[in-house]
Amino acid sequence: MKTTDFDYELPLERIAQTPLEPRDSSRLFVYDRKTGKIDHSHFYNLSDFLYPGDLLVLNQTRVLPARIYARKDGTGGLVEVLLLRRLGEQNWEALVGGKKVTQGKKLILSDEIQAEIVECYEGSRRLIHFSGSIDDFMKKNGQMPLPPYIHSRLDNPERYQTVYAHETGSAAAPTAGLHFTESLIEKIQEKGVRFTYVTLHVGLDTFQPVTEDDPEQHKIHQEWCELSPETAELIVQTKKAGHRVIAVGTTSARTLESAALAAKNAGSDACVIPISGDTGIYILPGYQFKAVDAMITNFHLPKSTLIMMVSAFAGRETILSLYRQAIDLQYRFFSFGDAMFLQ
pLDDT band at residue 207 using 50, 70 and 90 as cut-offs: low
Residue 49, amino acid:
F
- All residues at 6 or more sequence positions from 75 whose CB lies less than 8 Å from its CB, including other chains: none
pTM over 0.85: yes
What is the Rg, in whole angstroms, of the alpha carbon atoms belonging to the chain?
20
- All residues at 6 or more sequence positions from 300 whose CB lies less than 8 Å from its CB, including other chains: 250, 306, 307, 310, 334
* Kind plus residue range of the DSSP H or E element containing 132: none
Q: CB count, 10 Å around CB of 234? A: 18
Residue 220, amino acid:
I
Residue 187 clears pLDDT 80, i.e. is over it = yes
CATH class of 67-141: mainly beta
pLDDT of residue 99: 83
pLDDT of residue 14: 98
pLDDT of residue 133: 86
Mean pLDDT value across residues 97-103:
88
Residue range 138-158, pLDDT digits in tens: 999 999 989 889 999 898 999
pLDDT band at residue 83 using 50, 70 and 90 as cut-offs: very high
Residue 287: φ, ψ to 5°: -75, 135
Pairing relationship of beta strands 61-63 and 167-170 according to DSSP bridges? parallel
CATH of domain 3-63+155-342: 3.40.1780.10
Q: CA–CA separation, 132 vs 109, rounded Å?
A: 11
Q: CA–CA separation, 336 vs 322, rounded Å?
A: 19
Domain boundaries, the chain: 3-63+155-342, 67-141
* DSSP SS3 for 261: helix
Query: How far, in Å, are 71, 76, 84, 140, 247 from residue 107 at the CA level?
Result: 6, 9, 17, 18, 41
